[in-house]
Amino acid sequence: MEQRIHNFNAGPAALPLPVLATAQEELLNFKGSGMSVMEISHRSKWFDGILEDAVVRMKRLLGAGDNYQVLFLQGGASTQFAMAPMNLLPDGQAADYVNTGTWAKKAIQEAQILGKKANVPATSQDRNFAYIPKNVSYTPGAAYVHLTSNNTIEGTQYNGFPDTGDAPIVTDMSSDMLCRPVDISKCGLVYAGAQKNLGPAGVCIAVLRKDMLERVPKTIPTMFRYTTHAEKNSLYNTPPCWSIYIVGLVLKWLEETVGGLDKMEAQNRAKAELLYKAIDKTGFYKGTADKEDRSWMNVTFRLGSEDLEKKFVAEAEKAGLGGLKGHRSVGGCRASIYNATGLDAVEALVSFMNDFEKNNG
């Protein structure tokens, strides 16, 4: 096998090597079917097994009881920005949206396009989204509170779900789902595009509390109703079979190889602490997010000039460290250290950072 790089891409992102090896092994003949997963019918016994296993493992890892349903949808998290208010925000009611960055702003815009009332009780825009707002006064009677649990571009992350009173939380967890245990009982809906921490692009996971389905109106198009997909167990139409299969393998890896979310949290904490320590050491590198709100998944930092940043990214790539360029909207550098990015990758990055500073400091 040719040498693989250390992958710090923000998404599509690194996948666990054992998952890729299993997919390679089963590529031409899945479980004796004589077909690839990309060829089998989504109505077959083979895909039934894939889907059921993924659902069971997802609920087990999240600690979600029978009052939650796992849906595999298409259109990415960006489609959920519209589906959530279409389904869960009745006309005449308001929902709260905390604005913590680029993706939160897009969610707010989609609700507004639909003519829904989206209150913004707090924002961190005053300091370029470098922090998570605290002590927020949520709107009494809000239909839900929408949060972006991890801000991929700005490098901030909630330390835990806030107390939103009687309002259920609707949260975009695209970039930190299953990086650590969470209290899902506070959530009416959790959704995540898979291509950052859960699997390949092409599928979006939605974990929905079943009582939320009672809000879904019949006046929205069939494919945009959560009830459509809940009633048919994500099989109303042909689902993204291959993407669901890989997500299932990732969930199996999390449970059986890593050993669950407590152990995954310990690994992620160790990676983040090592990298942030290197950033904070001398001032040559400058973190962009407030220390108390720094993301474990997306580590954002700047160097002294844009030219120096370009040199850093180029030399890192030559050294086998890929994906370190910051998002085009903010510039700088970013290391995405999702679950599948190992401690060895972070150690290699820190070693490179130390050498680069010696040569350019």
Indicate yes or no: pTM above 0.95. yes
Q: Which of 96, 105, 116, 172 is catalytic?
A: 172
- Is 172 a catalytic site residue? yes
Closest by alpha carbon to 196, among 130, 250, 132? 250
Cis peptide upstream of residue 133 (ω within 30 degrees of 0): no
E runs forming strands in the chain: 6-7, 68-73, 94-97, 117-119, 145-148, 150-151, 156-157, 169-172, 187-193, 204-209, 286-287, 298-302, 321-322, 333-336
What is the tens place of the pLDDT at every residue in 80-116? Answer: 999 999 999 999 999 999 999 999 999 999 999 999 9
pLDDT for the residue 3:
84
- CATH 3.90.1150.10 domain range(s) in the chain: 260-360
Start-end of H helices in 90-145: 102-113
Q: What pLDDT does 195 receive?
A: 97
What is the structure's pLDDT at 361? 85
Q: Is the pLDDT of residue 64 over 90?
A: yes
Please give the pLDDT value at position 184.
97
260-360 CATH fold: Aspartate Aminotransferase, domain 1 (3.90.1150)
Mean pLDDT of the 56-74 span: 98
CATH no. of 17-258? 3.40.640.10
From 46, 96, 103, 253, active-site residue: 103
Ramachandran bin of 236, using left for φ above 0, alpha for ψ from -120 to 50, beta for the remaining angles: alpha
Supply the pLDDT for residue 1.
53
* Whether residue 196 lies in the annotated active site: yes
pLDDT digits (tens, 9 = 90+) for 327-342: 999 999 999 999 999 9
pLDDT tens readout for residues 182-224: 999 999 999 999 999 999 999 999 999 999 999 999 999 999 9
- What average pLDDT does the structure give for the chain? 97
pLDDT in tens, 219-266: 999 999 999 999 999 999 999 999 999 999 999 999 999 999 999 999
Quote the percentage of the chain above a pLDDT of 90.
99
46 is catalytic: no
Sign of the dihedral defined by the CA atoms of residues 10, 20, 68, 47, in that order:
positive
Active-site entry in 46, 96, 105, 196? 196
Which residues in the chain are classed under CATH 3.40.640.10?
Answer: 17-258
3-state secondary structure of 151: strand
